[in-house]
Amino acid sequence: MRGIEISLNQTQKIRLQRALKQLESLYLRANFNASVTVADTIPVSNEDTILKGHGTSERDGEVVATLCGVVERVNKLVYVRTLRARYKPEIGDIIVGRVVEVAQKRWKLEINFSQDAVLMLSSMNLPDGLQRRRTALDELNMRSIFEENDVVCGEVRNFQNDGGIQLQARSQKYGKLEKGQLLTIPPYLVKRQKHHFHHLEQYGVDLILGCNGFIWVGEHVEARDCIVEDQLNNTEQQITKSNTTKEMPLETRRSICQIANAIRVLSILGFNVTLEVILETIDLSSTLNLGIDEMLGPEFHVLVAEREAERRTSMTKRKG
């Protein structure tokens, strides 16, 4: 129960502690051979040459763990993956960030990393949609694209010599995010998956699970066609402006708040945040006929933990 900061009565504390202990026992049972703590010996084959990776060391001819976590093996490489770690970028990661500075030919973004990420002007689509060289005029108009405090979605392109990372936003699915909520959760709760962009049609909401722990929940936006005209006439510009100032429907606002609160509950409990678990949490609140504000109450946290313990227990029994 360490790290859970919600006001529970004595009965709720007992119920939550029981559910979390059940989840912990299921995890340890499934990862008995892989879980290690500091100074534990990692069994390896002495016949092969073993490459000792992160979280390992050699002592008296044995490979021992220097971190608490799960042992991972890639060919001859052995390393320990910590369960609760800071965000470690990988090329191809989908991230959500906030612009903190507009510099020469680049934007700097806060992405929940030790350094700000860099998005070059040449690494993103221009508003006119044309693939062309960036000019001095484009550089002067950078603030019309992104300015300070704008929320932006992009992809990790490569690593810089100083340890920083460079982003790219050349696809139509990347760019500025508006009309929604930005949530910050521990990065280790977001696992790398095939899809990080989700359109929840039943709610009219877009959900972006950033690998860096920044999650965006906002009104659905149709992606613009990749082929656009060279120049937009005044009528089209007026239509675009009217669309951007259009008020969000009340039902969509409620859906965004409901999804965001479901993510907050899962984060507080330390559960992995995936689309399936988020939808199950929303369904549970709807079944109980809870208001959006009631989802952040202590009783709902306990119910979510108990339901997750039951779900994983039944899954374990079916596999057995």
Task: Report, as an integer, the average pLDDT of 280-306.
Answer: 94
Instruction: Please state the separation of Cα 139 from the chain's center in Å.
Output: 31
Q: Which phi and psi angles does 38 have, rounded to 5°?
A: -60, 135
Write the pLDDT tens digit of every residue in 14-25. Answer: 999 999 888 888
Classified by CATH at the fold level, domain 33-82 comes out as OB fold (Dihydrolipoamide Acetyltransferase, E2P) (2.40.50)
Collect all residues with Cβ–Cβ distance below 8 Å to 313 and sequence separation of at least 6. 22, 26
Q: How much is the pLDDT for 31?
A: 58
- The token pair at 38 is 């500091």
Q: Is 109 exposed, middle or buried (0-12, 13-18, 19+ CB in 10 A)?
A: buried
Strand 175-177 to 205-209 pairing: unpaired
Q: Distance (Å, rounded) from C-alpha 50 to C-alpha 155? A: 33
The pLDDT of residue 4: 57
The whole-angstrom separation of Cα 113 and Cα 88 is: 8
What span, in angstroms and rounded, lies between the C-alpha atoms of 28 and 35? Answer: 7
Query: Which two structure tokens, joined as six digits, stand for 218?
Result: 């906002």
Instruction: List the single range of 100-109, 179-188, 220-229, 281-290 with lowest mean pLDDT.
Output: 220-229
What is the model's pLDDT at position 128?
65
Average pLDDT of the chain, as a whole number: 84
CATH number of 86-177: 2.40.50.140
Q: What are phi and psi of 110, to 5 degrees?
A: -85, 120
b/e code 247-276 from CB counts within 10 Å (16+ = b): eeeeebbebbebbbbbbbbbbbbbbebbee
What pTM value is reported for the model?
A: 0.81
State how far the alpha carbon of 186 is from the alpha carbons of 70, 118, 267, 268, in Å: 18, 22, 7, 10
What's the confidence (pLDDT) of residue 237? 46
Give the pLDDT of residue 312.
83
Q: Where are the domains of the chain?
A: 1-30+179-223+248-320, 33-82, 86-177
> Which whole-number Å values give the CA distances from 207 to 167, 184, 199, 201, 234, in the listed order?
20, 13, 6, 11, 32
Stretch among 41-45, 65-69, 163-167 having the lowest mean pLDDT: 41-45
pLDDT of res. 283: 95
| H or E stretch at 3 | none
- Domains 33-82 and 86-177 equal at CATH topology level: yes
* 113 closest CA partner among 80, 145, 72, 154: 154
SS3 236: helix
Q: What integer is the mean pLDDT of 173-193?
A: 92
- Condensed to tens digits (0 to 9), the pLDDT of residues 39-63 reads 888 887 765 678 888 889 888 888 8
Asked if residue 134 lies in contact with residue 121, where contact means CB atoms within 8 angstroms, the answer is: yes
Q: Give one DSSP letter per residue of 154-211, joined into a string.
A: EEEEEE-TTS-EEEEE-STT-EEE-SEEEEE--GGGS---S--EEEETTTTEEEEE-T
pLDDT tens, position by position, 210-222: 999 999 999 998 7
Higher per-residue pLDDT: 83 or 200? 200
